[in-house]
Amino acid sequence: MNNNVYGIDLGTCNFKVFCKSNGKILKEKNTIAIINKNEIYAYGDDAYAMYEKAPEAIQVVFPVVCGVIADFNFLQQMIYDYLENKLKGKVKGAEFIVAVPTDITDVEKRAFFELFYKSKFKPKNVLLCEKPIADAVGLGLDVNQPTGIMVVNMGADITEISVISLGGLVLSDLLHFGGNRLDESIISHLRKEYNLIIGQKTAKAMKENLGSGLPGRTETMVVVGRDVVSGLPVEKEISADVVYEATRANMESICTSIKMILEKTPPELAKDIIHSGIYITGGGSQIDNLDKLFEEITNIKVNSCDKPEESAVRGLVKIVSDPKYKRLPFSMKNSILK
């Protein structure tokens, strides 16, 4: 069996790589710092550390936006360098299995395929797999059964709500909406209510430390921002309830979308979902009490998991290793433009 296999999930915030030869899963920020307009200065966590701090000559960009590739060439260079030089992997002639969102166009899916196929990777094979299917397999669910499974993946830019049965997607909805939107809501709420301008990273930290699907958290956090009136930097203590108020409407709109998918779900599959519960995953699913909020809204049990950011890439590992899943991934070799 070939061991030179990489499973790859290119998220908006993080890219995750599974390396079959050593069994490791690695996660890095999907960020690139560019100098002189076309040279990569740094990438990954190093580039993210420069975000909001870099001088004008260095641009920090995110090569995946809303789940699709926004900057093909830089992304390709970064992944190649990461696998070849940072992981010291044997990239040439390797097999790649790449997770792709469901509700994107074929052209956008093909870009993920070509990222590896048409490149100096010179791959032996490139396969794609729908992210919700990879997520479900990564959560330890047998997607081949005629049983309805509902997976909600809340990432940074997108939230995918999917119903799976017999190894395929029965229903899915991709919301251009995830953790980043919550960060933006925190920024605008603090500006409006507290005359405080904070950076994106501070907002993200507030969401991760104080965010909640339900009111009642009592913790506080001291943040540094700029006072709108005086223009000077100030320190302010912000309570969890402020973060809850800022993000409540966003979380409610995810609930509305989950309910809409449930309303469209055929009754026999809905019966399975009620029985086994809804599965939530993706980094955003770690918001405190988000599971409880979804339970309140849907009256269905909600299952959360450990290391939810990695569930799709964990699924890719199983899909390439277990012959019973060989029907799940697909190639786009025949639709490639010559």
Helices (H) and strands (E) in the chain, counts: 10, 18
- The phi and psi torsions of 97 (rounded to 5 degrees) equal -125, 120
Query: Does 156 engage in binding with ligand ATP (CB under 6 A)?
Result: yes
Q: Which is nearer to ligand ATP, 137 or 287 (CB)?
A: 287
Q: Which is nearer to ligand ATP, 243 or 262 (CB)?
A: 243
Separation in Å, CA 173 to CA 20, 208, 221: 31, 25, 35
Q: Could you please report the per-residue DSSP string of 41-102?
A: EEETHHHHHHTTT--TTEEEE-SEETTEES-HHHHHHHHHHIIIIIS----TT-EEEEEE-S
* Nearby residues of 69 by Cβ (< 8 Å), 6 or more positions away: 10, 63, 75, 108, 111, 112, 115
# residues contacting Mg ion (CB under 5 A): 2
# residues contacting ligand ATP (CB under 6 A): 22
Among 180, 185, 212, 298, binds ligand ATP (CB under 6 A): 180
Name beta bridge partners: 149: 164
Query: Does 287 engage in binding with ligand ATP (CB under 6 A)?
Result: yes
- Of 45-53, 122-130, 284-292, 320-328, the segment contacting ligand ATP by CB under 6 A is 284-292
d(C-alpha 337, C-alpha 65), whole Å:
24
Residues across the chain: 338
- Of 79-87, 102-110, 122-130, 207-215, the segment contacting ligand ATP by CB under 6 A is 207-215
Q: Tell me which residue of 23, 4, 12 sits closest to 121, measured CA to CA.
A: 4
Q: Which is nearer to Mg ion, 11 or 167 (CB)?
A: 11
Query: Does 284 engage in binding with ligand ATP (CB under 6 A)?
Result: yes
Query: Nearest 5 degrees, angle CA 172-CA 293-CA 198?
Result: 90
- Of 5-13, 137-145, 222-230, 315-323, the segment contacting ligand ATP by CB under 6 A is 5-13
Query: Does 181 engage in binding with ligand ATP (CB under 6 A)?
Result: no
Dihedral sign, Cα of residue 204, residue 86, residue 33, residue 122: negative
Among 7, 8, 10, 11, binds Mg ion (CB under 5 A): 11
- Of 40-48, 72-80, 205-213, 255-263, the segment contacting ligand ATP by CB under 6 A is 205-213
Query: Does 309 engage in binding with ligand ATP (CB under 6 A)?
Result: yes
Least distance to ligand ATP, CB of residue 16, Å: 7
> In this structure, what token pair is assigned to residue 122?
């010179």
Please give the residues from 154 up to 173 whose contact with Mg ion meets the rule CB under 5 A: 155
Binding region for ligand ATP (CB under 6 A) = 11-14, 67, 155-158, 178-180, 204, 207-208, 211, 282-284, 286-287, 309
Residues that bind Mg ion (CB under 5 A): 11, 155
